[in-house]
Amino acid sequence: MPHYLSGRRRPRKGIAAHAADRGGDMARSTSAEHDEQNAQLGAVRICRTVQGGESFSRDSAGASDASALQSMLRDHLEARTETPASGTMSDPEQAPGASARTRWMPRLTKSIVGLALLAVVGWMPAKRLAQVSSVEAVVNARLVTMRAPINGVVGWNLSRLQPGSPVSAGSPVVEIANPRADRHRFEDATARLSDAREERAALAAKLKELKKLRAKLAVQLEEFRQNRMLQVSARIDEANARIAAAAAISANAKDARERQRELAQSGISSTAAMNAAHRDAMVAEAAGDGARAERNALVVEFEALRDGGYLGDSYNDQPRSAQRLDEIGEAIELITADIVRHQARIVRFQGVVSREREALAVAENAPLASPVEGRVWEIRTAPGEQVVAGQPLISLLDCSRTLVTAVVSEAVYNSLFVGMPAKFSFREGGESSSGRIVQLSGVSEASSNFAIMPSALTKESYRVAVSVDGGAKQGDCPVGRTGRVVFNTSAG
């Protein structure tokens, strides 16, 4: 009860006492405000610690995180426990408002910080338990094994490659040379082509000679025809002369016969003389008919020669030179056909030689180029080493696609399906990458061409392959980096 109601008068204090009381109140107020600020600063630091370690807490147990954070809070609060301010007076009769504020403000701040800490620490394990995620996950890639296509010796250009060296699609990687390649088929095809060319050349030379002979015979035959025409023409002229002579003789004989007949009628000449004159007239007339017939035959022969035909008594239808010319023409036609046939053989053998040359080039030298964009994973040979066809030479990582191999529990595995959306994040943090499940192999040993065998993940037995969208960055192939896969089961 205030002193002005109790009826009692409180003893009056001096100026020094009032100054001391006022100084104590100010010290207590300053101490309370200082404690409040320290408590709030500790809460902010703890919250920042919690937020900064959220990604780390994903990988650690929820219980251990809560214990650690509670220990941090306890140490901070104990270190900031309210202590009497130096220079303050423990006056039992201090102001009621200042004393109450000093007592409940630090406690309220501690309660708020504790509740916030409990909410954060409890939410992180609850969130992890609510997500369907993998137990282990590792970035993987398919292996592309380059094998020797032929028997031979590994080239020295392989020495520039080392495990981890980047390779681009289509770039040369290694070369195999085989100096002992079988050349029999190529040499046999080349010999056949040479024979066909030689035969064609021989036939062409023979054809050339026959054509020369045919031209010579043609000239000879033309000269013979011209000369024969001149000869027949001369004989025709001769026949015409004989015809004219026979006509004159016949006319003379007819006149003589007429005179003998007149003389015989007058009795001057005998009958025998008249008969002789008649005979001479008949002979002269017959000689003229023979000359005219011979001339007709010569005219027919002349016209045949003029038309290119030949008539005579010493040959059937043409002279020997014409027959020889026909034989040469037939030979030329046969040789021309043989040349065409050999030309076809040459074309065919040229194709055979070209194919055998290509086959020999493949058998003698085999440059190998990278089929994918990636990195060298393993080199299984060395320059100068003798290899056989089919022997593995180099294993390449196919970095064109990012694959993640994960293992899950049986309960999680039974809720997954191919094509289910998923997100992958690296263990050290960073943005999550979207992807989809591309393989559910379970406990089987499927996809043995992975760089990291799924059997290397041993915490669980059920294996899942996830294809991450976007692929690897240029020159980057993060095979072996670990992380965590979260499956979106609500998409099903």
Given a cut of 50, whether residue 83 has pLDDT beyond it is no
pLDDT, average across residues 457-473: 78
Given a cut of 60, whether residue 409 has pLDDT beyond it is yes
Q: What is the pLDDT of residues 84-139, one digit of tens each?
A: 444 444 444 444 555 555 667 777 777 777 777 766 655 555 555 556 778 888 99
pLDDT at residue 470, rounded to an integer? 66
> Residue 189 has which token pair?
């095809």
Q: What is the pLDDT of residues 255-306, one digit of tens each?
A: 777 777 777 777 776 777 777 777 777 887 788 788 888 888 888 778 877 8
For a pLDDT cut of 90, what percent of the chain falls above it? 25
DSSP state letters, 162-211? -TT-EE-TT-EEEEEE-TT---HHHHHHHHHHHHHHHHHHHHHHHHHHHH
According to DSSP H, which parts of 400-473 are helical? Answer: 410-413
User: Higher-confidence residue: 115 or 363?
Assistant: 363
Q: How many residues does the chain have?
A: 492
User: Higher-confidence residue: 81 or 74?
Assistant: 74
Given a cut of 50, whether residue 11 has pLDDT beyond it is no
Q: What is the pLDDT of residues 164-180, one digit of tens each?
A: 888 988 899 999 999 98
Predicted TM-score (pTM) of this structure: 0.51
Given a cut of 50, whether residue 162 has pLDDT beyond it is yes
* In the chain, domain spans: 3-130, 136-171+372-491, 185-323
pLDDT at residue 78, rounded to an integer? 54
Give the pLDDT band (50/70/90) at residue 392.
very high
pLDDT at residue 65, rounded to an integer? 47
pLDDT, average across residues 376-380: 91
- Report whether 62 contacts 118 (CB < 8 A): no
CATH code for residues 185-323 = 1.20.120
Q: Whole-number mean pLDDT of the chain? A: 75
Q: What is the pLDDT of residues 472-490, one digit of tens each?
A: 555 577 888 899 899 988 8
Placement of tokens 């080039």 in the chain = 361
pLDDT, average across residues 48-65: 40
Q: Which are the contacts of 119, defined by CB distance < 8 A and separation ≥ 6? A: none
pLDDT at residue 56, rounded to an integer? 35
> Residue 149 has which token pair?
């296509």
